[in-house]
């Protein structure tokens, strides 16, 4: 899958885009529309409201100023720039090993912002914009972050997930992130390693089972052998398993995930028999079973057990009504 420059700048499991649009230098602010999304998607998991590695928080202007990692107008004295510019194998490089690294475009944007005074209120048009920065801005899209409400009503974990466990997950190529700045819950996505991701790697997620609430394993190589491990992820509220080879055996374990609200089984081998295992998931709101062995009868039975559930079976061929015979002339 190819990503545009804008995707590289703003891709995040923690901010889900709405109303994507081009940046407007006359109206949009440097910090709010360019810098904050970069920090949110790359830095605030470890340096945010719920966690402050090195006693540094970068989730809002007040904390950034307090951190002293940014020296307005001086990139050479700004610890943030020093750390992100270190070689990939340096122990002090940020983000650290196992975390998603900043792109060259992101590094340039942060350096430009600091060089221009690290202002939190100025619009893009109110500062000097070098030609190369202007070209990047013209190619960028901005997506206002949608506020993530904890509709799942899970109690907040007393402490953050273990750093070593998160690092191990990251080393496997899994994109794991804080779900939002005001929560310790995590999301994990195997999009970057889907083709090589397998059952054994699912075990890496079990140590963070008390923090993992969104999981995307779509198009990966998992099979029913991973079912037992999936069944331990009790805090999951959203689970993508589309385009995998899992079957009804996996649904026996999925049926234990009582907090699940969203489940995508598109293109899998599940049938009506497997759907019976979901009848006790009273919080389940959306289910996708297009191109599976599930029938309308199975869906109707599930709807009776889980009132209000939305089930998407994909496009259905309209039934042909019998036409009355034309009278003989």
Per-residue tokens: 174 = 């899994």
pLDDT at 40: 84
Q: Which two tokens stand for residue 102?
A: 């900043």
What's this model's pTM, rounded to 2 decimal places? Answer: 0.58
284, 261 Cβ separation under 8 angstroms: yes
**106/217 Cα distance (integer angstroms):** 27
* The pLDDT of residue 164: 92
Which residues, 6 or more positions from 122, have their beta carbon under 8 angstroms from its beta carbon? 29, 30
Beta strand pairing status for 141-142 and 21-22?
Answer: antiparallel
Paired tokens of 106: 């992101």
Exposed, middle or buried: residue 138 (CB in 10 Å: 0-12, 13-18, 19+)? exposed
pLDDT mean for each 10 residues of the chain (329 residues): 35 44 92 91 78 81 90 93 87 80 91 95 94 92 63 78 91 87 86 93 97 96 97 96 97 97 97 97 96 96 96 71 57
* Termini Cα distance of the chain: 62
Residue 329: its pLDDT value, please? 54
pLDDT value at position 50?
Answer: 63
In whole angstroms, give the CA distance from residue 230 to residue 167.
20
Determine if residue 314 is left, alpha or beta; phi over 0 gives left, psi from -120 to 50 gives alpha, anything else beta.
Answer: left
What pLDDT is stored for residue 172 in this prediction? 92
pLDDT of the residue at 222: 97
Task: List domains and CATH numbers for the chain.
Answer: 5-142 (no CATH), 163-312 (3.80.10.10)
Determine the pLDDT at residue 57: 84
Q: Hey, what are 324's tokens?
A: 């009355």
């Amino acid at each position: 899958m190819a990503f545009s420059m804008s995707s590289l700048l703003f891709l995040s499991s923690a901010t889900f885009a709405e109303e994507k649009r081009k940046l407007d230098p006359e109206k949009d602010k440097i910090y709010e529309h360019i810098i904050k999304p970069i920090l949110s998607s790359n830095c605030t998991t470890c340096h945010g409201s719920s966690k402050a590695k090195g006693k540094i928080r970068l989730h809002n202007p007040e904390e950034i100023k307090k951190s002293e990692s940014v020296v307005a107008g001086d990139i050479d004295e700004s610890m943030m720039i020093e750390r992100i510019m270190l070689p990939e194998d340096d122990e002090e490089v940020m983000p650290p090993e196992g975390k998603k690294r900043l792109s060259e475009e992101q590094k340039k944007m942060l350096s430009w912002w600091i060089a221009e005074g690290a202002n939190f209120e100025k619009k893009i048009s109110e500062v000097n914009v070098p030609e190369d920065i202007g070209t990047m801005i013209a190619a960028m899209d901005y997506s206002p972050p949608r506020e993530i409400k904890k509709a799942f009503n899970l109690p907040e974990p007393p402490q953050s997930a273990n750093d070593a466990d998160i690092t191990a997950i990251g080393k496997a190529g899994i994109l794991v992130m804080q779900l939002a700045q005001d929560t310790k819950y995590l999301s994990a996505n195997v999009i970057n390693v889907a083709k090589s991701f397998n059952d054994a790697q699912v075990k890496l997620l079990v140590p963070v089972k008390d923090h993992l609430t969104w999981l995307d394993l779509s198009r990966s190589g998992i099979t029913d052998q991973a079912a037992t491990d999936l069944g331990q992820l009790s805090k999951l509220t959203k689970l993508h398993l589309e385009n995998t080879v899992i079957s009804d055996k996996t649904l026996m374990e999925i049926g234990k995930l009582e907090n699940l609200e969203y489940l995508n089984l598109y293109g899998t081998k599940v049938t009506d028999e497997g759907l019976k295992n979901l009848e006790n998931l009273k919080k389940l709101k959306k289910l996708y079973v297009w191109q599976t062995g599930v029938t309308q009868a199975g869906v109707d039975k599930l709807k009776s057990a889980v009132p209000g559930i939305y089930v998407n079976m994909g496009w259905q061929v309209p039934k042909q009504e019998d036409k009355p015979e034309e009278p003989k002339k």
